[in-house]
Amino acid sequence: MDPFNVSRRNMLLGTGASLAALGARGIAQTVAPPVAPAGGRALPPPPTPDQIRRLQWWHEAKYGLFIHYGLYSMRARQEWAMEKEAIPIPEYEKYAKQFNPKPGFAREWVKLAKAGGMRYMVMTAKHHEGFCNFDTKLTDYNSVQQGPKRDLVREYVDAARAGGMRVGIYYSLMDWHHPDGAICANDEAARRRFVDYTHGLIRELMTNYGKIDILWYDGGMPLNGAGWEAERMNKMVLDLQPDIVMNNRNLAVGDFSTPEQRILASGNGRAWESCMTLNESWGYDAEDDEWKSPRTIVRNLISCGRDVGNYLLNVGPKGDGTMPEEAVRIITEVGRWLETNGDSIFKSDKCQPWRPSYATFTRTGNTLYMHVHYWPGGDVSLSGLQTKVLSAYMMKGKQAVKFTQDDYRVHITGLPMKAPDTPVTTIAIECESVPTQSLDPELRLAKPRGKVGIEI
Ligand code: GLC
């Protein structure tokens, strides 16, 4: 095997990315952190002190807007169209001439991210199609020399910063346009040229736009980490941007893992971020109407929060940069929910309780947040809590609620029949110490049983 080449399958395994389909409702469930199997893949290395320092804001930010925007947005059949439809380069290049984002498109994105309660953004500077949405000296296949005659990355960076958003840049190493993008796998001279080109573009992005908070690599094809000279790449990035955080998709270890279309906590204190589409497409697809509901997005945020991970939610704007109306509606509704309930997500520590089935949980210190997604009406019950409850209140309206507690359940009563909040109602349960729930079946078995038969 070529030491610099890697199969797509191994690349995906190596990055932890998954093509696993979502369940019918698109709700991702967390599973326990991986335990290193004997002789199997090792746990990720624990974060270094410098990673802990650089990642601090990122952990607190928790929720970001991912934006796939490029020439494919005009074709409106997802971002893989060029490859999957085998479009010849000259035919595809005509989009570069026609590309013309409307003025102020990036300010609109920032407005949406803010309304949605998000705290950072990640925009595609170059996707697999190879077109650079930024000014570069290394190719004329870029938005300053072609159709728009504007530096779209600069417009985005300026708008995001002006709006108080942390700024992330997505960069695809894989390139379907560059002449060496494929042959670099088997031709050392081509690899040298292409790796120099790749490092050069990244250097420009890390030099010309002020402080960049996130570098989101993708598409580590067709080389492996050694082939990309990925550790040297990261060192260059850190020399230019000492506070940046980077993912692992250039096939170096990086700062955080990127489970894709699923929620999967990393072990060993490794930072992780679930990236997910709002419908089923990363790049705009005019016909994709499989939108997740606001409730599903809130539940996914809760699932990430309870395992101390981030949630990066993707939208593909239309060719002129307009966000699809459905995306605006859904993200804004989640944002309204976060105005009331944000503390339960943004300040969450690792959380253990998980019953009953109509609710999920997050925790901050001794406070347990019970997120009721299917409101049962009148009362809610929490089984097996092993911690004494001191008080409880509704996040919406902040009014105290009545409860009783015995060995088997916390019973919250006197609640309205109709869910007080939408799409999820959160009850803050303040406990004497860190709340834990017994998952031991013995507790259920010990619960007093009824009698059978008729007493005379
Ligand atoms: C998938 C898609 C790619 C997209 C990425 C985002 O790998 O194939 O186009 O950019 O997800 O994580």
pLDDT digits (tens, 9 = 90+) for 222-239: 999 999 999 999 999 999
Q: Which of 456, 403, 399, 392 is CA-nearest to residue 430?
A: 392
Cα–Cα distance for residue pair 246/113, rounded to 1 Å: 21
What atom in ligand 1 is closest to the CA of residue 275?
Answer: 12
User: How high is the pLDDT of residue 453?
Assistant: 77
Kindly give, in sequence order, each residue whose CB lies less than 8 Å from that of residue 281, ignoring residues fewer than 6 positions away. Answer: 78, 79, 288, 316
pLDDT of residue 125: 99
Q: Candidates 73, 133, 176, 260: which one to mutate for ligand 1, based on the most atoms within 8 Å of Cβ?
A: 260
User: CB under 8 Å to 7, separation ≥6 — which residues?
Assistant: none
**In angstroms, what is the span from residue 410 Cα to ligand 1's centroid?**
44
Q: Write down the pLDDT at residue 33.
A: 42
Alpha-carbon distance of 90 to 177, in angstroms, equals 10
Distance CA 409, CA 247 (A): 42
365 Cα to the center of ligand 1, angstroms: 36
Confidence of residue 67 (pLDDT cuts 50, 70, 90): very high
Q: Residue 36 pLDDT more than 60?
A: no
Task: Retrieve residue 286's tokens.
Answer: 């005019």
Q: Which atom of ligand 1 is nearest to the CA of 258?
A: 12
One-letter identity of residue 99: F
Tell me how far apart the alpha carbons of residues 127 and 176 are, in angstroms, rounded to a whole number.
9
Ramachandran angles phi, psi of 105, nearest 5°? -55, -40
| Residue type at 5 in one-letter notation | N
Nearest-CA residue for ligand 1 atom 4 is 282
- The SS3 of residue 304 is helix
How much is the mean pLDDT over the chain?
92
Atom of ligand 1 nearest to the CA of 249: 12
Strands 214-218 and 166-172: parallel
User: Closest by alpha carbon to 298, among 338, 326, 329?
Assistant: 338
Residue 69 Cβ < 6 Å to ligand 1: no
Residue 328 CB contacts under 8 Å (≥ 6 apart), including other chains: 112
Confidence of residue 440 (pLDDT cuts 50, 70, 90): confident
Q: What's the confidence (pLDDT) of residue 456?
A: 61
Q: Say if ligand 1 is within 6 A of residue 229 CB.
A: no
Q: Tell me if 74 CB under 6 Å of ligand 1.
A: no
260 lines ligand 1 (CB under 6 A): yes
Ligand 1 centroid to 282 CA: how many Å?
7
Question: Would you call 41 exposed, middle or buried from its count of C-beta atoms within 10 A (0-12, 13-18, 19+)?
Answer: exposed
pLDDT band at 14 (very low <50, low <70, confident <90, very high): very low
Asked whether the predicted pLDDT for residue 6 surpasses 90, the reply is no
CA distance 217 to 210: 19
Residue with the smallest CA separation from ligand 1 atom 2 is 282
Q: DSSP letter for 174, please.
A: -
pLDDT of 450 higher than 90: no
Is there a contact between 314 and 321 (Cβ–Cβ < 8 Å)?
A: no
Residue 30 has pLDDT above 70, yes or no: no
Cα 447 to Cα 266: distance, rounded to the nearest angstrom? 36
Beta bridge partners of residue 431, listed in sequence order: 389
All domains in the chain, ordered by first residue: 47-346 (3.20.20.80), 359-444 (2.60.40.1180)
Q: In this structure, what are the phi and psi dihedrals at residue 237, rounded to the nearest 5 degrees?
A: -60, -45
- For ligand 1, whether the C-beta of 218 sits within 6 Å is yes
Among 29-43, 153-167, 355-369, 427-441, the least confident range:
29-43
pLDDT for position 131: 98
β-strand pairing of 271-277 with 256-257: parallel
By C-alpha distance, which of 157, 161, 131, 109 is closest to 313? 109
371 C-alpha vs ligand 1 centroid, how far in Å?
31
**Which atom of ligand 1 is nearest the CA belonging to 219?**
7
Per-residue pLDDT band for 449 (boundaries 50, 70, 90) equals confident
